[in-house]
Amino acid sequence: MPSADAIEEEVRQFLRDNFPLSADGVTLDREDSLIEVGVIDSTGVLELIGFIEERYEVEIADEEVLPENLDSIANITRFVGAKVGGGSNGAG
Amino acid sequence: MAPAELSPDTLRLDAERTVEEISERIREVVYKDLRRRGAVIGLSGGVDSSLVAHLCAHAFGPERVLGVLMPEGESAPDTLDLSQVAAEAAGVETVVEDITHLLEAAGCYERRDAAIRTVMPEYAEGWKAKIVLPSLLGNARYSLFTVVAESPEGERREARLTATAYREVVAATNFKQRVRKMLEYHHADRLDYAVVGTPNRLEYDQGFFVKNGDGSADVKPIAHLYKTQVYQLSEHMGVPAVIRERPPTTDTYALEQSQEEFYFSVPFDKLDLCLYALNEGLPVEAAAAATGLDTEVVERVFEDIERKRRAAEYLLAPPILLTNA
């Protein structure tokens, strides 16, 4: 099971690789809203879901697609940690 | 007007004056700036293109306006009839171009269906589908693009799209708007006319159009009008009630799809007021009072408007010249 630090680094790498704004010198704080800073949009959310499902071999239900699970690097790290750890599935 | 006084009446126009102003300006643009001698309009049977046909007939005289009707195999059954009704009411000549064979040749349907099957393997020939974006109202979840399909027996299925499938479906269906624009320019070249676009303010501002498809035109005479103002002017100019009373549709997918389902997520009259409030710097509370929506919902609508504006920047950008490179 990946550590929280490893998950966070992989998420940051995914954002850098796939979203131009993130790669273009914008430094994201852990708590920054990815939607509000314009890093991801409605298609980007689908992309993020696809990345998490494929990389961590988990399924994300529609009910789990909430800002508290996916809208910041901190939230994603916590949500993915809970999914792969088999504990709480995060909010929703 | 005090900010707190926002209401549907805020958007009421002096219809007669507005029609004359638009007519004068569009004549100037087409005759003087573009040096063309009339107008080509793609007619969809919707209120926007019907109003533009009436405005152009008023501005240029109906004999200098051509309405192009471009149905395809998946158009709603009443699209062609309503387009004819609009053209007749405006008194303009029409030409019908069935674009089905052009779309087949481009692989529009085949590419789209293959993309849908990646998330819904049972989707097969004879099924109808549409893309929906679930409503923002009373919902803290993200809106996710979803494919809704109906089998020939009437059974409905839904599946969340992957980013790749969503882009493939959109890229394939965009052939419809681009093929239509190609034909509008064909007729414009043939007649030495200008192509007159039909987006209203909501569509233009929020990027609800296809780049180099319905987003392309030589002049866009109603892109500054809110949708409610389009309805007001349409009634004033005599656009037939059967068109004004039809719910706005994209007419892009085989399964009937409202614009709300696909893109706007709240009814256009409420969205108009939210957009106006945002443009004028009015508080969320003023928009909430005018629309009857909760303040939290208005906040989400404001955020959604800003997000769509960011996405629309690419769609609205002209080709960029690297003059300083």
DSSP H or E stretch at residue B43: strand B39-43
ipTM of the complex, rounded to two decimals: 0.82
Q: Which residue of B has its CA nearest to A68?
A: B141
Q: How many CB atoms lie within 10 A of CB B205?
A: 20
Q: For each of chain B's 325 residues, which pLDDT tens digit applies? A: 444 579 999 999 999 999 999 999 999 999 999 999 999 999 999 999 999 999 999 999 999 999 999 999 999 889 999 999 999 999 999 999 999 999 999 999 999 999 999 999 999 999 999 998 765 554 566 778 899 999 999 999 999 999 999 999 999 999 999 999 999 999 999 999 999 999 999 999 999 999 999 999 999 999 999 999 999 999 999 999 999 998 777 677 777 766 555 556 688 899 999 999 999 999 999 999 999 999 988 998 898 898 889 889 999 999 999 986 6
Report CA-CA distances (Å) from B44 to B22, B49, B82, B220, B224.
Answer: 21, 6, 8, 16, 20
- Is A34 part of a structural domain of the chain? yes
- At B158, give phi and psi (nearest 5°): -130, 145
What is the per-residue pLDDT across A4-51, written as a single tens digit (0 to 9) for each? 999 999 999 999 888 876 556 677 889 998 877 777 777 888 999 999
User: Residue A62 and residue B160: Cβ atoms within 8 Å?
Assistant: yes
Residue of B nearest to A46 (CA): B163
- pLDDT (0 to 100) of residue A89: 46
Contact B307 A66 (CB under 8 A): no
Q: Would you state the pLDDT for residue A19?
A: 81
**Distance (Å, rounded) from C-alpha B261 to C-alpha B78?**
20
Contact of B143 with chain A, judged by CB distance below 8 Å, is answered with: yes
pLDDT of residue B259: 59
pLDDT of residue B260: 59
Given a contact cutoff of 8 angstroms between Cβ atoms, the answer to whether B298 and B275 are in contact is no
Residue A53 clears pLDDT 90, i.e. is over it:
yes
A37 located within any domain = yes
- B212, B197 in Cβ contact below 8 A? no
Say whether A46 and B143 touch across the interface (CB within 8 A). Answer: no
Is A92 within a domain? no
Separation in Å, CA of A45 to nearest CA in chain B: 8
Q: Does A36 touch chain B (CB under 8 A)?
A: yes
Spell out the residues 6+ positions from residue B29 whose beta carbon is closer than 8 angstroms to its own.
B194, B219
In this complex, is the C-beta atom of B139 within 8 Å of any C-beta atom belonging to chain A?
no
pLDDT computed for residue B4 by the predictor: 54
Residue A10 belongs to domain spanning: 4-85
Strands B39-43 and B194-195: parallel
Question: Of the candidates B263, B29, B14, which has an alpha carbon nearest to the alpha carbon of residue B135?
Answer: B263
Helix, strand, coil in percent for chain B, rounding step 5: 50, 10, 35
Task: Tell me which chain A residues have a C-beta less than 8 angstroms from the C-beta of B303.
Answer: 35-36
**Mean pLDDT, rounded, for A45-63:** 94
Q: Is residue A91 part of a domain?
A: no
CB contact under 8 A, B144 and A46: yes
Say if residue A91's pLDDT is above 80.
Answer: no
Question: Coil, strand, or helix at residue B46?
Answer: coil
Distance of CA B113 to the CA centre of its chain: 23
CATH value at residue A61 = 1.10.1200.10
Asked whether the beta carbons of residue A46 and residue B303 sit closer than 8 angstroms, the reply is: no
Output the DSSP codes for A30-61: TT--TTTTTS--HHHHHHHHHHHHHHHT----
Rounded Cα distance between A34 and A26, Å, is: 11
CATH class of B11-104+170-265: alpha beta
Residue B2: what pLDDT? Answer: 45
Give the closest residue to B214 by CA, choosing from B18, B11, B35, B41.
B41
Domain count, chain A: 1
Show me where the domains of chain B are located: 11-104+170-265, 114-167, 266-315
Interface test with A, best of B141, B142, B166, B305 (most A CBs within 10 A): B142
Instruction: Determine whether the interchain pair A46/B162 forms a contact, defined as Cβ–Cβ distance below 8 Å.
Output: yes
A62/B contact by beta carbon, under 8 A:
yes
Inter-residue contact B134 to B165 (CB < 8 Å): no
Which residues from B are below 8 Å from A18, CB to CB?
A: none
CA distance B147 to B172: 14
> What are the φ/ψ torsions at residue A17 (nearest 5 degrees)?
-70, -30
